[in-house]
Amino acid sequence: AQKVTQAQTEISVVEKEDVTLDCVYETRDTTYYLFWYKQPPSGELVFLIRRNSFDEQNEISGRYSWNFQKSTSSFNFTITASQVVDSAVYFCALSEAGRSQGNLIFGKGTKLSVKP
């Protein structure tokens, strides 16, 4: 069955620390897509990244980086030199190409608090 697990419910760090948010997924599909979204206190969902199952290259975007490992079914997200503005809830999500609904399956989210 398809599932996304974010084992870390809440993380608290001090500004400038590095922090990694874990995401483990389950799927039987060979073609799927993984996403990360940020939900700041204002409540909207902000798209961060999409990866397809055939592209295991790690990606870096500024202070953000993502590590995709099919062998461990993980898609972890690292923030380097965290800032107070990074405080938010972060969601990992899965979309299976073979699923007729085409919907996203979300993890429960990790609440990140970055203290000055």
Q: Which span (12-20, 59-67, 76-84, 89-97) binds another protein, by CB under 8 A?
A: 89-97
Q: Which span (13-21, 64-72, 73-81, 93-101) binds another protein, by CB under 8 A?
A: 93-101
- Is 9 an interacting residue with respect to another protein (CB under 8 A)? yes
Min CB(98)–another protein separation in Å: 9
- Is 25 an interacting residue with respect to another protein (CB under 8 A)? no
Closer by beta carbon to another protein, 81 or else 97: 97
Min CB(60)–another protein separation in Å: 19
- Is 44 an interacting residue with respect to another protein (CB under 8 A)? yes
DSSP state letters, 55-69: ----EEETTEEEEEE
Integer angstrom CA distances of residue 67 from 14, 55, 62, 84, 98: 23, 11, 14, 23, 24
Integer angstrom CA distances of residue 25 from 41, 48, 57, 82, 85: 26, 18, 17, 25, 27
Rounded Cα distance between 26 and 43, Å, is 27
The only residue of 41, 43, 62, 116 in contact with another protein, by rule CB under 8 A: 43
